[in-house]
Amino acid sequence: MSTIPLLDLNAQYRSIKPEIDAAIRRVMDSGQFVLGPQVQALEEEIARYCGTRFAVAVASGTDALELALRGCKIGPNDEVLTSAFSFFASVEAILAVGAQPVFIDIDPATYNLDVALLQKHLSKRTKAILPVHLYGHPADMKSLMEFAASYRLKVIEDCAQAMGAAINGKRVGSFGDAGCLSFYPTKNLGCYGDGGMVVTHDASLAKEVFLLRAHGSRKRYRHLAIGRNSRLDELQAAILRVKLKRLDQWNKARRLRAALYTSLLQKNGLGQVRAPAERKNYHHVYHLYTIRTPNRRKVIDRLEKQGIATQVAYPSTLPSQPALKTKIRSQKGFVEAEKASRSVLSLPLYPELSAKQIEFVVQSLRRALL
């Protein structure tokens, strides 16, 4: 069996090459390259897809988080409750607006922040919650939104890994004040560079993010706010529009492959390996298929020898990141996040992965654990 990568972007490109190439050529011929008709059409299509009134394209998922926080007027002296287990960008955005992250331990089944712990970390300075829908499984938004409403907190959803995920048919990004998407190439909806988007029901928040992404300017050379350059380009937007039409089909393919992994893990008696959980009525989009395994180092090495790529997302918790040492007060007690950081392992998963390849991965895993 040839090597199995974690993700195969070439296979995806091959499957849509004529349409992508034609879309790129049209942009090249148009001579319009930044914030043009493709970006505007994409904003409309993504707002419709996510079930929000507005969508504002920006240069990355990290920018989406930062500009959404700024748009929600979160800044110095404010505290933002967020998960102790995520990619660093979630906390970077909070610090970039001058606010303080206050970490919440995770629910060990879904890896998302444990909503039952929010109350314990609430203070007079708490202004917002930033849940992350990690690996593609939505956080418990019903309880989280109830909690936020009772303390008038803003909610900024980090949907970078979860585009298309939903609870009872309602898509992530449409629960809170803002949803932040990333179009980094490896994401479920990825472009061929960097890109991101803020989705929201709130007209004034959308207006503010529109302003901030383009130097605080609506009219040429007149600046109403200190913004920045966080523009999406036409090439990426045109590519994303081609891919968006296939997102549901790709997410479905991911879910089928995840289900096959889970049933094969059970059939092979891999009781010591924990498959990902999926809450009832939650639509998981499996950005990553993440198991927990004993002897992780040995498993990684054995799989690598078989040509199987794996990934550890993440080998440490956010509160333990060295960059935060001098930036935030020391926070402790993230038992579940720490346990996860020691045992999680993501296996190859992408829409083009074959059943044979999945069987090979599970057999190799079984042998590695003998």
Give the binding site for ligand PLP (CB under 6 A). Answer: 60-62, 86-87, 89-90, 132, 158, 160-161, 182, 184, 194, 196
The residue (of 180 and 358) whose beta carbon lies closer to ligand PLP is 180
Reading the block at residue 272, the tokens are 């010591």
For strand 178-182 and strand 154-158, is the pairing parallel, antiparallel, or unpaired? parallel
The residue (of 288 and 358) whose beta carbon lies closer to ligand PLP is 288
Shortest distance in whole angstroms from residue 224 CB to ligand PLP: 26
Shortest distance in whole angstroms from residue 124 CB to ligand PLP: 28
Shortest distance in whole angstroms from residue 298 CB to ligand PLP: 27
Shortest distance in whole angstroms from residue 105 CB to ligand PLP: 17
Buried b (16+ CB within 10 A) or exposed e, 84-98: bbbbebbbbbbbbbe
The residue (of 175 and 265) whose beta carbon lies closer to ligand PLP is 175
Cα separation, 184 vs 208, in Å, equals 24
Shortest distance in whole angstroms from residue 137 CB to ligand PLP: 12
Residues 6 or more apart whose CB falls under 8 angstroms from that of 252 comprise: none
The residue (of 194 and 208) whose beta carbon lies closer to ligand PLP is 194
Shortest distance in whole angstroms from residue 87 CB to ligand PLP: 4
The residue (of 191 and 299) whose beta carbon lies closer to ligand PLP is 191
Instruction: Give the residue nearest to ligand PLP (CB).
Output: 61
Shortest distance in whole angstroms from residue 90 CB to ligand PLP: 5
Shortest distance in whole angstroms from residue 355 CB to ligand PLP: 28
Shortest distance in whole angstroms from residue 83 CB to ligand PLP: 9
The residue (of 54 and 135) whose beta carbon lies closer to ligand PLP is 135
The residue (of 162 and 291) whose beta carbon lies closer to ligand PLP is 162
Task: Identify residue 276 by its one-letter amino acid code.
Answer: P
The residue (of 194 and 338) whose beta carbon lies closer to ligand PLP is 194
The residue (of 89 and 167) whose beta carbon lies closer to ligand PLP is 89
The residue (of 161 and 236) whose beta carbon lies closer to ligand PLP is 161
Task: Identify residue 166 by its one-letter amino acid code.
Answer: A
Shortest distance in whole angstroms from residue 283 CB to ligand PLP: 18
Residue closest to 12 by CA, chosen among 22, 24, 20: 20
Sheet with 196-200: list strands edge to edge.
54-58, 196-200, 178-182, 154-158, 126-130, 79-83, 100-104
